[in-house]
Amino acid sequence: MNKQSTVEIESAAHVLKLLGDKTRLTMMKLLQANECCVCEFVEIFEISQPAVSQHVRKLRDGGLVKETRRGQWIHYSINEESQHYELVQQLLHYLPGQEKHLEELQSKGLRIICK
Amino acid sequence: MNKQSTVEIESAAHVLKLLGDKTRLTMMKLLQANECCVCEFVEIFEISQPAVSQHVRKLRDGGLVKETRRGQWIHYSINEESQHYELVQQLLHYLPGQEKHLEELQSKGLRIICK
DNA sequence: TTATCATATAACAATTTACTTATATAAGCA
DNA sequence: TGCTTATATAAGTAAATTGTTATATGATAA
């Protein structure tokens, strides 16, 4: 049994709802190992750029990710200060790595653009 | 790092969506420690009986709980055979116990009816 | 400054969700 | 048998979600 603090059920439900979407869950798993920018997500998920922005905004509003502007690009990464960081990490461990998506980008030469 | 098998991201997202609702998440936390029947949930959540039935059906369809008929009552409990059992248990550990709801029922004398 | 690129926001539409009330089913009991 | 109780299903509805296209913002580069 781990030592772990509890969180309110309502706030946990909110986090789980955020993660209960295939696109956002895959984003989080990707971010667990890599910073990503919006343009990469657009390529990976094959949805419009606004759709990606709306997903990352939800994750940001929920405190799960943070953004860092690098010139004209905005990179997203896991927010380790989140109240739910530990819970989310535990959860993500159960998911298979999503590096295949990044490798596919690389092979298309699309990973370089925001570097 | 725990030894743990991974599950498909799509199927994990589905489970997390089921848990991403305050009512269902509280139900699961209650079930972690107790069997409950529909009539108890009706009292606890102050929603209609059909609303409760619809929530437990979603949890059952997702394989997270199982039902046992006991006379005219149907008792629900955690399905330990679920592919997502381990993930769900880990998750529930982060939540505070919900026994207060059962104690409240008891004090109203409503816990006895389905025994 | 103006053009371009990355991202965000606004407005809208289709779909899904979470309730409700009304009704059906299934077990227990007089 | 017929009545009551527990639960499920059906049908309808309001609100939330997730996408779209159009447009705004903000940084860079000519």
Residue B56: which CATH number?
1.10.10.10
How far is the alpha carbon of B73 from chain A, nearest alpha carbon, in Å? 28
- Give the CA-to-C1' distance from B57 to C18 in angstroms: 13
Residue B6 touches chain A, beta carbons under 8 Å: yes
- pLDDT attached to residue A1: 47
- pLDDT over 80 (residue A2): no
Q: What is the mean pLDDT of chain A?
A: 92
- pLDDT attached to residue B5: 73
- pLDDT attached to residue A62: 98
- pLDDT over 50 (residue B2): no
Say whether B95 and A17 touch across the interface (CB within 8 A): no
- pLDDT over 80 (residue A115): no
- Domain presence at residue B115: no
Q: What angle do CA B13, B16, B19 make, to 5 degrees?
A: 155
Only one residue has tokens 């799509």, namely B10
Instruction: Name, in order, each residue with C-beta under 8 angstroms of B102's C-beta and a sequence gap of 6 or more.
Output: B30, B34, B40, B44, B111
- Domain presence at residue B30: yes
Q: Nearest by CB to B10, which of A19, A22, A90?
A: A22
Spatial distance between the Cα atoms of B42 and B87, rounded to a whole number of angstroms = 27
Give A55-100 pLDDT, tens digit per residue. 999 999 999 999 999 999 999 999 999 999 999 999 999 999 999 9
Residue nearest to nucleotide D23 (CA to C1'): A50
Q: What is the 3-state secondary structure (H, E, C) of A12-51?
A: HHHHHHHHCCHHHHHHHHHHHHCCEEHHHHHHHHCCCHHH
Closest Cα partner for B76 from B53, B100, B105? Answer: B53
- Domain presence at residue B80: yes
How far is the alpha carbon of A71 from chain B, nearest alpha carbon, in Å? 33
Most A CBs within 10 Å, among B16, B83, B99, to test the A interface: B16
- Domain presence at residue A113: no
- Domain presence at residue B68: yes
- Domain presence at residue A4: no
Give B53-107 pLDDT, tens digit per residue. 999 999 999 999 999 999 999 999 999 999 999 999 999 999 999 999 999 988 8
- Domain presence at residue B92: yes
**Res. A7 pLDDT band, cuts 50 70 90:** confident
Q: Which long-range contacts (CB under 8 A, 24 or more apart) does B71-77 make?
A: B73/B37, B73/B38, B73/B39, B73/B114, B74/B37, B74/B38, B75/B35, B75/B36, B75/B37, B75/B114, B76/B27, B76/B31, B76/B35, B76/B36, B76/B37, B76/B38, B77/B31, B77/B35
Domain that holds residue A23: 9-107
- Domain presence at residue A115: no
- pLDDT attached to residue B90: 97
Residues 57-96 of B with CB under 7 A from strand D: 57, 67, 72-75
Say whether A16 and B12 touch across the interface (CB within 8 A): no
β-pairing, B36-37 vs B65-70, is unpaired
Number of domains comprising chain A: 1
- pLDDT over 60 (residue B3): no
**Res. A109 pLDDT band, cuts 50 70 90:** confident
Residue B3 touches chain A, beta carbons under 8 Å: no
